[in-house]
């Protein structure tokens, strides 16, 4: 496998902003989108990062399936809840706005919950959950997505990868940040393997005949992902249930598309009609925040000091590896595979904004 090339975070941010503004996105919204996209690459979630400029955002903005102007509308509102329409705009823009409103409600009324309909892919779910941390709140973020996952005992794509993210502040330790797809892996991870020319582990996906395969091309073209847990015999029905749970909040409750209807051009509402759900919880409504942080630190230390498995030296808390990777990538530059750089050049040529950045030495 070829070595990745590292690029300056600032250079990539500037390029993403230019890319989006070339497509009619306002400079402010382009900055928001760049911030969320690069948060994924910084934390090592490259399947949701800059790789999607070509495979998702550029093509959809060009063909009009995403509105470059994110016109957010309030549908319903109470002191603790808010229902929004994302106007078929960029998911990052409506997602960040929704979570900010969610945090405002939680700070004023102990809890905030926001749903969004008529949106698009919003990047990594963890970004929005983590927004609550700077306010010492617990953050939650769900989103549904276009169908890529076969339900247990099925072989066709009926559910999205439908991620769940929860961020919980600690004291002296890093916060707990769970950010996981309810599929066994995100579809972007399959795309990364295909770009590397490598097979995926057997049990990640099915081909068009419903047969488990290690061919990433077969999974992406007519096949489907397994839910978290894999096939039925390895308890994949648990991931199936979690994926459906997310769709109930983001689809049914939000009034967005559900399951196989996400991204269906025959829908009455134009665009993908992706739905999101956000929540923020004020710890002080339940107990003293300092006591909570102390207990979080004690629990984290209890876990990290536990006896290690043979050959292992460290037990990690969710999000810990990503925080450490973000520090390295911020300092040394974001690594991009040559195939990803090639796709960025293709995307730049497509929209008239050449990708001419030079890798770091």
- Residues 29-39 have pLDDT tens digits of 999 999 999 99
Tally Cβ neighbours within 10 Å of residue 97: 19
Q: State mean pLDDT over 79-98.
A: 98
Average pLDDT, rounded, for the chain: 95
Same domain, yes or no: 155 and 274: yes
- How far is Cα of residue 327 from the mean position of the Cα atoms in its chain? 20
Asked if 88 contacts 256 with a C-beta cutoff of 8 angstroms, the reply is no
Q: Is 347 inside a domain boundary?
A: yes
Same domain, yes or no: 259 and 165: yes
Same domain, yes or no: 134 and 269: yes
Same domain, yes or no: 178 and 200: no
* Boundary residue ending a domain (170, 205, 225): 225
Same domain, yes or no: 44 and 158: no
Strands 205-206 and 224-225: antiparallel
Same domain, yes or no: 261 and 127: yes
Q: State mean pLDDT over 58-64.
A: 92
Same domain, yes or no: 78 and 144: yes
pLDDT in tens, 155-204: 999 999 999 999 999 999 999 999 999 999 878 789 878 878 899 999 99
Asked if 330 contacts 9 with a C-beta cutoff of 8 angstroms, the reply is yes
pLDDT at 1: 66
Retrieve residue 52's tokens: 């999607």
Q: Is 8 inside a domain boundary?
A: yes
CATH code assigned at 361: 1.10.1530.10
Same domain, yes or no: 342 and 206: no
Q: State mean pLDDT over 71-98.
A: 98
Asked if 151 contacts 207 with a C-beta cutoff of 8 angstroms, the reply is no
Tally Cβ neighbours within 10 Å of residue 197: 10
* Boundary residue ending a domain (225, 247, 282): 225
Site of tokens 């300056």: 8
Q: Is 48 inside a domain boundary?
A: yes
Domain count, the chain: 3
The rounded distance, in Å, linking the Cα atoms of 110 and 273 is 30
pLDDT at 85: 98
The whole domain housing 81 covers 70-184+233-305
Q: Is a pLDDT exceeding 80 seen at residue 266?
A: no
Q: Please, which pLDDT band fits residue 270 given cuts at 50, 70 and 90?
A: confident
Q: Is 348 inside a domain boundary?
A: yes
3 state DSSP class of 108: helix
The rounded distance, in Å, linking the Cα atoms of 17 and 28 is 9
Going by the DSSP 8-state scheme, the letter that residue 258 receives in this structure is -
Asked if 238 contacts 228 with a C-beta cutoff of 8 angstroms, the reply is yes
The rounded distance, in Å, linking the Cα atoms of 257 and 89 is 15
Q: Is 323 inside a domain boundary?
A: no
Length of the chain: 361
Tally Cβ neighbours within 10 Å of residue 172: 10
Q: Please, which pLDDT band fits residue 264 given cuts at 50, 70 and 90?
A: confident
The rounded distance, in Å, linking the Cα atoms of 19 and 207 is 35
Q: Is 340 inside a domain boundary?
A: yes
pLDDT at 47: 85
Which positions ≥6 away from 114 have C-beta within 8 Å?
Answer: 81, 82, 83, 84, 98, 99, 101, 102, 105, 276, 277, 278, 279
Same domain, yes or no: 23 and 79: no
pLDDT in tens, 310-331: 999 999 999 999 999 999 999 9
Same domain, yes or no: 256 and 340: no
Q: Is 326 inside a domain boundary?
A: no
Q: Please, which pLDDT band fits residue 2 given cuts at 50, 70 and 90?
A: confident
Same domain, yes or no: 94 and 25: no
pLDDT in tens, 37-55: 999 999 999 889 999 998 8
3 state DSSP class of 195: helix
The rounded distance, in Å, linking the Cα atoms of 141 and 37 is 16
* Boundary residue ending a domain (225, 253, 278): 225
CATH code assigned at 174: 3.30.1370.60
Same domain, yes or no: 195 and 172: no
Q: Is 314 inside a domain boundary?
A: no
pLDDT at 233: 87
Q: Is a pLDDT exceeding 70 seen at residue 126?
A: yes
Q: State mean pLDDT over 287-311.
A: 98
CATH code assigned at 211: 3.30.60.50
Q: Is a pLDDT exceeding 90 seen at residue 113?
A: yes
Q: State mean pLDDT over 263-287.
A: 89
pLDDT at 268: 66
Based on its alpha-carbon atoms, the radius of gyration of the chain, rounded to whole angstroms, reads 20
The rounded distance, in Å, linking the Cα atoms of 124 and 274 is 14
């Amino acid at each position: 496998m070829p070595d990745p090339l590292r690029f300056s975070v600032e250079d990539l941010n500037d390029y993403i902003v230019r890319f989006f503004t070339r497509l009619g996105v306002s400079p402010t919204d382009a900055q928001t989108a760049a911030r969320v996209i690069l948060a994924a690459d910084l934390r090592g979630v490259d399947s949701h990062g800059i790789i999607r400029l070509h495979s998702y955002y550029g093509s959809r903005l060009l063909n009009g399936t995403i509105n470059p102007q994110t016109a957010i509308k309030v549908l319903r509102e109470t002191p603790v809840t808010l229902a929004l329409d994302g106007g078929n705009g960029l998911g990052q823009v409506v997602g960040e706005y929704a979570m900010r409103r969610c945090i405002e409600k939680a700070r004023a009324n102990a809890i905030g919950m926001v749903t969004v309909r008529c949106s698009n892919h919003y990047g990594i779910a963890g970004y929005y959950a983590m927004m609550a941390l700077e306010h010492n709140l617990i953050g939650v973020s769900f989103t549904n997505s276009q169908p890529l996952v076969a339900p247990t005992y099925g072989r066709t794509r009926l559910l999205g990868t439908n991620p769940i993210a929860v961020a919980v502040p600690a004291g002296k330790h890093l916060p707990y940040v769970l950010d996981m797809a309810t599929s066994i892996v995100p579809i972007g991870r399959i795309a990364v393997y295909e770009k590397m020319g490598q097979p995926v582990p057997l049990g990640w996906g099915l081909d068009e005949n419903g047969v488990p395969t290690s061919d990433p091309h077969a999974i992406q073209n007519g096949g489907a992902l397994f839910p978290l847990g894999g096939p039925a015999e390895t308890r994949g029905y648990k991931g199936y249930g979690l994926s459906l749970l997310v769709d109930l909040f983001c689809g049914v409750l939000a009034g967005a598309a559900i399951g196989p209807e996400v991204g269906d051009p025959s829908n009455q509402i134009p665009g993908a009609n992706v739905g999101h759900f956000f929540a923020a919880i004020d710890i002080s409504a339940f107990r003293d925040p300092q006591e909570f942080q102390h207990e979080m630190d004690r629990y984290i230390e209890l876990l990290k000091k536990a006896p290690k498995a043979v050959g292992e030296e460290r037990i990690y808390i969710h999000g810990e590896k990503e925080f450490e990777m973000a520090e390295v990538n911020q300092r040394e530059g974001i690594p991009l595979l040559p195939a990803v750089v090639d796709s960025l050049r293709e995307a730049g040529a497509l929209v008239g904004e050449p990708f001419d950045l030079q890798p770091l030495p």
